[in-house]
Amino acid sequence: MAGTSDTPRPIAAVLDWRWLWPAARLALVSAYLIGGVQKLMDFPRAIAEQAHFGLQPAALWAVAAIAVELIGSVLVVVDRFVWFGAGALGVLTLVAMLAANDFWHMSGHDRFMALNAFFEHLGLIAGLVLVSIISWRKRRA
């Protein structure tokens, strides 16, 4: 029947809250914002992080990571060119998860931890895809 919902009224009220959509976008990219600022404030450590994961030239990868984390996050937060910002963050996340969570080369507890982190990052990429879809549909409507 049209007009009915299986969503309880209190939940629907929360989902209708006007600040939920911006708060969710901010929460989704919060780790990238923090990471980008930390890398920017301690650039030598950012270079060392990239080198640790075998990404060379490390300084170039560090600059790219900072730019993507900060610019991509801002685009998602301000709800403009979300497809671009979220897409860039998704690609960065894919590179990071392949470099840092290579569970297929591990065993024991290290494999367990890397496998979990790998799929957590995959879920984050899915969240970035979803925020892009929602933003695009809202603009189309």
pLDDT in tens, 106-119: 999 999 999 999 99
Could you give the CA distance from residue 85 to residue 69 in angstroms, rounded to a whole number? 9
Report the candidate in 3, 81, 95, 74 with the shortest Cα–Cα distance to residue 32. Answer: 74
In the chain, count H helices and then E strands.
7, 0
What is the predicted pLDDT for the residue at 83? 97
User: Which tokens belong to 25?
Assistant: 């976008």
pLDDT in tens, 1-55: 445 679 999 999 999 999 999 999 999 999 999 999 999 999 999 999 999 999 9
User: Which tokens belong to 15?
Assistant: 């989902």
Could you give the CA distance from residue 124 to residue 70 in angstroms, rounded to a whole number? 17
pLDDT of 105 strictly over 70: yes
Burial of 135 (0-12, 13-18, 19+ CB in 10 A): buried
What is the predicted pLDDT for the residue at 4? 61
